[in-house]
Amino acid sequence: MAGEKRKGCLSEEELNSPQAKRVRANLVKFSRFLRSLQPDATSSEDKDAKEWFRVLTSAFSNQSAKYMEASKHVDRQRYQKLFLLIRECLLTHRWLEATHIMTALTREYNKTAFAILRVGLEILFNLESGDDSILDQFIGHIKKQPALHIKEVLLEYTMYLIHKEKLDEAIEQVKLLPRDYRTYRNCEKAEEIELQFKLYTGVLYYLEWKEALNTLVKLQNGTLVQLSAIELANAVSVQEEQLKRSGNKAITCLEFVQNKKGVYDTFILMCVELLEYYDRGEEALQLLKSYKLTNVDNPNAYRYLYEYYERNKFPKENKISSLYDFCKIVPSDTMCLLLYDMVEASEFKGINALSLLFNMLDYSAWQNELGPWDRLVKHLIKLYQKQDLKNLIEQWGIRNSWWPQYQFRASKYVIRSTDTNLLGTKAQAAVFLLETGNKYVRRVRKYGNLSEEQEKNLISAVELKLKVQYN
């Protein structure tokens, strides 16, 4: 990051060191190797250059075997091999080496243009040279390449500027987009790029809006520099105007996501936040509903709708319905417990509350969590008290062949290493789900160090089950 010295950024002293001289010697050999990759290369030095490439790549960690294999056939798929090598350079912060490898990629822009754009920006981001002229020359050159859509270039460049915390400059790049920009020859990709560019332009305006909002709040709270009453009023007016202008531009761009199939969670959340801020709640709701209908397999589409209902105090039926749709897709999520509690509290019809708990406990993440087990035991007690076991029999019927070994392992080591509150609760569940005197319950009572209250609860569970069995 900024201010941190990166590998590949050499001082004047380091440039004259023996190590730097060796690096330059290697770069000379590397340039020979690059020449050897060309189809018409017949230099007598090719063999030495290829051998150097084999030694160089074997020095890199993790992927050396793959590079070694690639070096055997350097004349075929040469750019794929260079991509492997440059990836390793980037992962190990070898920016200087990555720069020289990239020179080879520039020989065939049609195949490597997008990689050159991204790798080039990554190298420049980390070199911390402080010389923006290099960056300007690079972007100016890459914009002219016919293999790239100009918006594709600007999109990557604006992301670079945002990470450099240059929001104003990033917005300026979008504003300066020439109206006669060339279209990409691949129509399908052009449509995708247009959408991405529009959405990320919306992100830029959203960030500008957020910045204006924070400034406005500070002005109203008096946490900025002391201003006279007139100066403060003028400053507030300017920020309110900026807020409105940026917000409207952001909404206009971000609304393009409506009815688009794909994962656009970030853009949806930004647009909804803006719409709600300007009291356009109905539009926000319609956006969330259309996102859910267009992306039925995206659990976040249901989560965001539920969260909107919750924020805006919608009736419980709306909340339960959206949360249930979410839990059907992600039955192991924590929100399933929230749904269970809501269903039980309201006695909502049409949702099998017991199945919510069983579905959660099917996942190992919940195997040793007290929350769902405690709710399951209380639910089972209620069913036995009502002597209404039809739903339990159905749920247990699809689990009785594997749950006993999965959930109720009677190992002395497992029992002794488990929290006593969880042990007591699981033992009660085992009473209702397994035979009354099952091995798990016996072992828990012997090795689990249950409290007196837990023993009483266990005995009460046994008595309740026996009572129902003999009635």
| Dist CA 301 CA 303 (whole Å) | 6
* Assigned domain for 191 exists: no
What is the average pLDDT value for the chain, to the nearest integer? 80
- The confidence score (pLDDT) of residue 26 equals 47
* Assigned domain for 444 exists: yes
| Dist CA 193 CA 172 (whole Å) | 19
* Assigned domain for 110 exists: yes
Q: What is the pLDDT of residues 248-262, one digit of tens each?
A: 999 999 999 998 999
Q: What is the pTM of this model?
A: 0.73
Tokens describing residue 256: 């393009």
148: Cβ–Cβ under 8 A, 6 or more apart, which residues?
113, 114, 117, 142, 184
169, 174, 117: which is closest to 143 by C-alpha? 117
* Assigned domain for 392 exists: yes
86: Cβ–Cβ under 8 A, 6 or more apart, which residues?
98, 101, 102, 105, 115, 119
- The confidence score (pLDDT) of residue 99 equals 74
Domain limit, last residue, from 148, 174, 204 = 148
* Assigned domain for 333 exists: no
- The confidence score (pLDDT) of residue 30 equals 39
440: Cβ–Cβ under 8 A, 6 or more apart, which residues?
404, 408, 409, 410, 426, 427, 430, 434
* Assigned domain for 318 exists: no
Read off the amino acid at residue 288: L
| Dist CA 316 CA 324 (whole Å) | 12
Average pLDDT over residues 185-212: 83
- Is residue 370 over pLDDT 50? yes
| Dist CA 213 CA 215 (whole Å) | 5
- The confidence score (pLDDT) of residue 328 equals 95
First CA to last CA distance, the chain:
73
- The confidence score (pLDDT) of residue 374 equals 97
Tokens describing residue 410: 């009677």
Domain limit, last residue, from 127, 148, 169 = 148
Domain with 436 in it: 366-471
* Assigned domain for 124 exists: yes
- Is residue 110 over pLDDT 70? no
Q: How far is CA 168 from CA 88, 124, 172, 173, 251, in A?
A: 33, 20, 6, 9, 19
Answer whether 7's CB lies under 8 Å from 95's CB: yes
Domain limit, last residue, from 114, 148, 182 = 148
Answer whether 126's CB lies under 8 Å from 2's CB: no
* Assigned domain for 250 exists: no
96: Cβ–Cβ under 8 A, 6 or more apart, which residues?
8, 10, 23
| Dist CA 289 CA 281 (whole Å) | 12
Per the structure, the count of domains in the chain is: 2
